[in-house]
Amino acid sequence: MALNKAHAAYQANSIAASKPEELTLMLYNGLVRFITQAKKAMEENEVNKSHENLIRAQDIIVEFQATLDMNIEISQSLMLLYDYLYRRLVEANLKKDTAIVDEVLGFAVQLRDTWDQAMKKAREEAHEPSQAANASGK
């Protein structure tokens, strides 16, 4: 029990200390994890466990929708995609359909990997000016 409390405290501190872009990556990782766990539970005929994991995945998608800045052009497209993924997860949950889960998982992995690459590129670009200044002796 104490180990669970320590782990929960560590997770809470990790989240509190994270930048928004890191939190987004954590959410994408959680989305992939919950969808993967739901699929495994479906395959093992654990209906309640699959339901719980799909609900958690749906909750993450709702969070993504709630935090979109609709003043940014790509947000319109992301909203439509998140809406589609949410509806497909609901359908997968109702039908206990692993094919639908696989479809949504594919999108979730692509979104996560794209976000991860964007973060890496942004970090590289943020370091380039300081490296150029160091090279010129400034």
pLDDT score recorded for residue 130: 56
Cα(95)–Cα(134) distance, rounded to whole angstroms? 59
Can you give the pTM of this predicted structure?
Answer: 0.80
Kindly state the tokens that stand for 41.
């539970």
State the amino acid at position 118 in one-letter form: A
Q: Tell me, what's the pLDDT at 3?
A: 57
Residues of the chain falling short of pLDDT 50: 7, 10, 132, 138
Buried/exposed 8-40: b ≥16 CB within 10 Å, e otherwise: eeeeeeeeeeeeeeeebbebbebbbebbbbbbe
Q: Measuring CA to CA, which residue among 77, 110, 103 is closest to residue 88? A: 103
Report domain 19-126's class: mainly alpha
